[in-house]
Amino acid sequence: DGGITQSPKYLFRKEGQNVTLSCEQNLNHDAMYWYRQDPGQGLRLIYYSQIVNDFQKGDIAEGYSVSREKKESFPLTVTSAQKNPTAFYLCASSPGTSGYTGELFFGEGSRLTVL
């Protein structure tokens, strides 16, 4: 079945450690996105990519990094520079290459907790 797979579902990190969240899609979508979700707030865009080997910062990119070496994959690294990384992270994809022209397809999410 086509879809988006995020891993791990739950992750615990010690302060000062970098962690990488995986996002893989087999929908043949061009655009991929990373969002952060905190209680009582709307989804906030971290990074997005509309084409392989290119990505753009979102509203809250500081302390995060991404890569897009393959169309199917868009991993997110949460670095030690991110001051408050405990959150629910959602990866999404869409077919469009010029902004939000259609619905987003989301992965199941990764919940990161910093100890």
Residues between 66 and 105 that touch another protein (CB under 8 A)? 88, 90, 98-105
Report the Cα 73 to chain-centroid distance in Å.
10
The pattern of x and - marking residues 16 through 55 that bind another protein according to CB under 8 A reads: ------------------------xxxxxx----------
CA torsion 89-74-11-64 (nearest 10°) is -70
| Smallest separation, CB 96 to another protein (Å) | 9
Token digits of residue 29: 């979508």
Minimal distance in Å, beta carbon 42 to another protein? 3
DSSP state of 83: S
Beta partners for residue 58, in sequence order? none
Q: Which residues form the interface with another protein (CB under 8 A)?
A: 40-45, 88, 90, 98-109, 111
